[in-house]
Every structure is written in C-alpha cells, then in structure tokens.
Structure 1
Amino acid sequence: MTTVAAYAAPAAKAPLERTTIERRAVGEFDVLIDIKFAGICHSDIHQAREGWGEAVFPMVPGHEIAGVVSEVGPGVTRHAVGDRVGVGCMVDSCRTCENCAAGLEQYCTSRPTWTYNAVGKDGKPTYGGYSQKIVVDENYVVRIPDGLALDVAAPLLCAGITTYSPLRHWNTGPGKKVAVVGFGGLGHVGVKLAHALGAEVTVLSQSLRKQDDGLRLGADHYHATSDPETFERLKGSFDLILNTVSAPLDFPAFLSLLRLDGAMVNVGLPEEPVQIPYGALFGNRRNLTSSNIGGIAETQEMLDFCAAHGIGAEIELIDASRVNEAYERVESSDVRYRFVIDTSTI
C-alpha cells in the first residue's frame, strides 16, 4: 500500500481539508496513475454535502482525473508507464451482466463501483481524484490523446462524456436542431460537442450574460429563458433538448419546444423532487428521458473525437488550497467554466 496526500471532506457539509489516504498495492491488472489534474464537478459538491442522500466519509471527491501512468501490474496490456491517461466516474463494475457486456458499464445491473463515495469489491471505500495518486484496474482507464492538454482534458472525463453520450445516442448531426439548457460546466462542453457533430445549436440560459461566450464556443443562437417570448418564438423547434442544470424547471414550457418525436434529455440531477405534468408529454409525441455518463469504450471515443476537433473544457486552474472557495463559487455560478485542481499543490 502507498500513503498519498489528498483533500477530503471529513463529514457531510464539512469543509474539505488536507489529509492522507492509503492506495492499494498495484495488482496484476492494475495501473498506478500520478494524478496531474482533477476537475471539480457539481456532483462532487452534491455528494460531499449529502445532497443526494447518505454518503461515505471521509470522502475524497473527484471523478475527472487526468495523469500519467507510473507503474503497471504484470498482466496489464492496455497501458504502459509514461502513458497519458484518464479516469472518470467509475473504476469497476460486475463485468458479466448484459449491460457490461454491451459496453454500457455505467448501467451495470449490480451497480458500478464509483470512483469515490462507494465501496469497492475489496470492501474498502473508494477515494477520488483530489489526491496525488490512484490505482485503477486497466479496463477502467482511458487514453488521453496527445492532442489534448491534460488540464483541459480532465473535465471531459465527466462533463465531456455526460454530454457526448446523449448527443450520440439521439443521433445529433447535420440537419438536427439541438438546444442546450444551461451554459455552465456541462453546458459549455455540450455546445462544443453538438457544434462539432454538425447540429444547429441553441443555448437556453436564464440570461444573456454569457451570450458572447456561447456564440464563440459554437452556438448558433442564444436565448434567455427569463423572457417569456423565448418560449413562444421557439415552440416546436428542436429535435433534442439537452438539459444540463441541476435544478427543477418549468418542464411544460421546455417540452413545448420539441418537434414531433423530439426528446428532452436530463443529465443534471436536482436534489429536490421534480414534478412532471403528464399532459405536457402528449403533444408532438414528446419524450422526457435521461442519460448517465457513458461506458468506457464510448468515453475513449469521446476523447478521440475531442482531440480530432480541438475540444477541451474552458477551465480555471486552481491550487488545492482553494477547493472550498471553488465549491462556493460553483454554487453561485461564479466560474467560467470548470475549476481544475493542479494536484501538484496538494
């Protein structure tokens, strides 16, 4: 076992603090990664504050991990020392169920082993990327192409795959009209991806405050949802609405924007219960659904796509000592657009 420095939440809603954790010895099929950068996802805040229910503490958050392989087990064939790699939201799954066999490990019927706030098959808690090193089975480690800088690639391990997977599943491409609800950590990556896939992209945000950024990053149109005329003007316009916000919405208003057989896909998970008026689904045979990250193969596909199209996250790089400040700023939407921890400062 190896002792490494990390930042952890000792209890629910407690500030994160510097500590040390134990990483397991490198097993036959394991990869030891020197973590270089770790993105701060809103999910980290939800879980560290038990917004989604009871959690495992102490908690080392972080599932947007980019680093370099420093050791491999004797049976490893996928990665080698010196490789640039990433780890996303999961570090294991049952590997035998129908969904795992189909490359959809995120929907493992026995539940995936999440990168943090979970218990591994060894019965020990998993700890995430706000740390110096991590040991992961080679099958749950992806390659970061040379064309992607590690710091801007880190958020792609969650924000990237979370938006890429539904865009691909619902056949985003030329001739399709896609609306992205929310222009934050997830939304700005979703806009870049939808644009690169060839769709006509519209941002639906509360205000026009970030309009210039939205148009610069690939949006064709940008509208304020605080303006009631937006919903009248855009009624029946979109094939796909990608909802990236983690708060309840006026779902009838947003569903009215869908074309025949259009889908509204939710990738943000509010802490509060959400009410869906059933009648809002009847017009235009509308679909209201969700998507949960992506499988390992699709995550690799996403990274290769991003490298080919020059897509990385828009980031603010911070020292680890500022993690609690960053949490507060994320909560107040004061970040453009993803905080990334320089883990050399832990």
Structure 2
Amino acid sequence: MLHYPESFDGIGVVDQADWKHPKRVVFQPKKFDDYDIDVKIECCGVCGSDIHTASGHWGDIPKPVVVGHEIIGTVVRKGPKCGPEIEIGDRVGVGAQCYSCLTCDRCKHNNEPYCENLVLTYGYSYADGYNSKGGYASHVRVHEHFVVPIPENIPSELAGPLLCGGITVFSPLIRNGCGPGKKVGILGIGGIGHMGLIFAKALGAEVYAISRTSSKKEDAFKLGADHFIATKEEPDWAEKYYDTLDLVVVCAGSLKDVDFERLPKIMQVGGRIVSISVPEKTEQIVLKPFGLMGVSISNSHLGSLKEIKQLLKLVSEKNLKIWIETVPISEANVNKVFERMEKGDVRYRFVLTDYDKEFN
C-alpha cells in the first residue's frame, strides 16, 4: 500500500446501493499546488450532509465518496507560496469549503461560500476534474485560505462540528442582527439547531426553541433557550406568539414539516425567516405570498472564513460547549454512525476520533 504523501487512506462509499457499509480505500489526493496545505487528521465531525452525499440524495458522485468536512488536524506540509499565518505543526481546522477563486467581488467581501467557482471539501470537482475528498481519511489537502487555526482552549472533538454545522447556523445569526434586545427562534433542535441555541444565547438574544414535540424541551432549556414552542402539541402556538420574533433560523433537516403558512404569523414586521436546510433534491415547499407580507424568507449557505474565526473566538472566550458523542473511526463504526444518523439517534453531534489507530 502506498503511503502519504503519494496517496491518502480513507473510509469511503464504493457502492451507492450499499452506502451504509463504507470500505477502507486508498486514493490519490489532488495535485499539490503552491498555496495548498496538507493536514494530518485527528478527528472529524459527522454532518447531515455526509448522509445526504453518501446515500446519493444529492446526486451521483464519482467513487470512492469520502465525506467529512468538520476536520481537525495538524499541518504536515505547506506550499511554497503559503503565508506565515499557518505553520507546520499547527493545530488547524477545515470546514465545508476547500476552494474558491478569491478574486471575485463575492470573495473579496467575505462571501466565499457564494463564489461561482467554489469547491466544497468533498464531492465537488476542481477545474482539472479532480473530485474532492473529505475528512473520513488520514489527510486532507486544501487551499491555505480555508485552513483556520484552532484556539488552544477548544478541545479538538468540540472544535470539529463548529466548522460546518456550527458556522452554518452562526452565519445567519450574525448577518441578521442576533444580539441583545432581539427575540430569536431556532426551529429544529438537532445537530445544528442545538448549536444555534447555544450561540444565540451567547450573543445576547432572547431565545425561542421551536420543535414539533416537547421531547427535547428539557435539553433546549439546558442549551440556553428561554422559551419552548411545541408546534404539534400547541394548536394555538401561532396565535400565542403572534408578532413576537425578529428572526427565525430554520435548522430542520427537511422542510416538509415546517408550517410556512403559520410561521410568518409569529414574526414581527420586518422579521426574517432564514433556512439553512438543504434537503433531498426532490423536496419542494409551498408558500402563500399573502402570508409573507412584512416578513422575508431566505436561505443561507455556509459561513465565510471571517465568520468562522468570529465563531471560534466566541466559543473560546465564553467557553461554550456543544453536545457531542465521540466514536473511534473504523469501517464498522462509520456504518453504525450512518445507521444512527438516519434514525436521528444522536444527542446531538457525532465526532469520529482515534484516527492514528485506524490509519497508523
């Protein structure tokens, strides 16, 4: 078997029909460019996007499909044109984006995730046709711009999920004025939603947890919620909370069960409903325009590198702790994690660990 740097080891989907049983694979990394950095991976969070991609919900991807974009590790190689901000031996993170042009107006204004030429950390093609590979692997190779130092007081297993799930909810919070004096709802209390509650509270907002049932009510209050709305158990919830919220971030994995006819009623005039959900390609939602009068609804992508650094600073300074379950990486354990993720059986984020033992 070839070893780094000629090839990387990973655990990837080799058969879409049997996606829950990934296999050990050896794959070639992308060509090493002048601004690239290689990271030897220590751990990686498990994101809902991993499931959508591995299962083919978002379309077919060249095999092997190596997912994972909540990566923490150590810099082991840097290109000759890389700057001094990142040095060999540094502990760093890599999130869901590994490349953009960095020259367009969007990139220049800290909107790299909205660049026409973005490449996501796995399952996306570079200009030369190479299909990106993610963090269920021994190493990852990315452009230096998308590598971020991790503050010393944030443990690696708690830092990983911040780099996709965490920043995906943090970005719409700060872009839409979450802070003191604001009433902010987090709809969907799962892997991303639970982080939304923590961050919205840390930013100083009055926080409303919104879920279908009260099964996560106790957790929501522990995570920082000031109020809890169970939409399936409170028939009059839209009337009770009429004209209340400034912002709602929709963190549900699917939008099929979100009542977009009643949800706008609880918004103040000028309120914003922002979805971060990217469900199956076939899913559609129905909106009645009259119900949106005075309220805007939009979709948010990933956060920028500037926002990731803001989030890490907030987590570090306030010593915020997300809720995770660690699992040593292996073929068998990735299979178990995939099966449990599909069932929603996690409180609230898996993190794959023990990379040295698996990849030696």
In structure 2, distance between residues paired with 1:59 and 1:25: 18
CA distance in 1, matches of 2:265, 2:169: 22
Aligned residue for 2:327? 318
For residue 251 of structure 1, give the secondary structure of its aligned residue in structure 2.
coil
Counterpart of 2:146 (choices 134, 140, 146) is 140
In 1, the alpha carbon distance for the partners of 2:54 and 2:288 equals 31
Aligned mates of 1:163, 1:143 — CA distance in 2? 20
Find the partner of 1:250 among 255, 259, 272. Answer: 259
Instruction: Say whether the 8 Å CA contact 1:2–1:24 is kept in structure 2.
Output: no
Matched-pair identity in %:
35
Q: Which runs of 5+ in 1 are unaligned?
A: none
Instruction: Supply the distance in 2 between the matched residues of 1:281 and 1:11 (Cα, whole angstroms).
Output: 44
- The counterpart of 2:160, out of the listed 154, 168, 179, is 154
Alignment match of 1:293 (pick from 302, 308, 331): 302
Shift of 1:232: 2.4
Q: Given that residues 62 and 116 in structure 1 are in contact (C-alpha distance below 8 angstroms), is that contact kept between their aligned partners in structure 2?
A: yes
Maintained 8 Å contact 1:4/1:23: yes
Partner of 1:210: 216
**Does residue 96 in structure 1 map to residue 103 in structure 2?**
yes
Q: Structure 1 residue 265 and structure 2 residue 269: aligned? A: no
Partner deviation per Cα, 1:43-92 (whole Å, 9 max, x = no partner)? 11111112123333221001111111122223222201121111111111
Which amino acid counterpart does residue 253 of structure 1 have in structure 2?
A: R
Deviation at 1:179, TM superposition (A): 0.6
Distance 1:182 1:60 in 2: 27
User: Cα distance, 1:154 vs. partner?
Assistant: 0.2
- Which one of the candidate residues 27, 34, 58 is aligned to 1:21? 27
Structure 1: which amino acid aligns with 2:92? Answer: V
What amino acid maps onto 1:270 in structure 2?
P
Note if 1:274 corresponds to 2:285. Answer: yes
Q: Given the alignment, which residue of 3, 8, 17 partners 2:7?
A: 3
Letter of the 1:190 partner, please give it.
G
Q: Which residue of 2 aligns with 1:106?
A: 113
Find 2:125's aligned residue among 100, 110, 119.
Answer: 119
State yes or no: 1:84 paired with 2:91: yes
Residue type at the aligned position of 1:73? G
Deviations 1:302-329 (A, max 9, x none): 1112111112431110122311221221
**C-alpha separation in 1, matches of 2:126 and 2:300:** 24
Give the Cα–Cα distance (whole angstroms) in 2 for the partners of residues 345 and 41 of structure 1: 22
Going from structure 1 to structure 2, the CA distance change for 1:13 and 1:179 (only over 3 Å counts) comes to farther
Give the Cα separation in 2 of the matches to 1:2 and 1:314.
37
Contact 1:34 1:133 in 2 (8 A): yes
Query: In the alignment, is the contact (CA less than 8 A) between 2:25 and 2:64 conserved in 1?
Result: no
Letter in 2 for 1:341: L
Q: Using the TM superposition, give the Cα deviation of residue 180 of structure 1 relative to its aligned residue in structure 2, in angstroms.
A: 0.4
TM-score (norm 1): 0.95
Tell me which amino acid in the other structure corresponds to 1:278: P
* 1:230 to partner: Cα distance: 2.3
Which piece of structure 1 moves more, 319-328 or 170-179? Answer: 319-328
Counterpart contact for 1:8–1:18, Cα < 8 Å: yes
| Counterpart for residue 233 of structure 1 | 240
Query: How many residue pairs were aligned?
Result: 343
Q: CA deviation at 1:13?
A: 4.2
Amino acid at match of 1:319: P
* Runs of 5+ consecutive residues of structure 2 not aligned to the other structure: none
Could you say what the CA RMSD is over the residues aligned between the two structures, in angstroms?
1.5
Cα deviation, residue 117, structure 1: 0.4
TM-score (normalizing by structure 2): 0.91
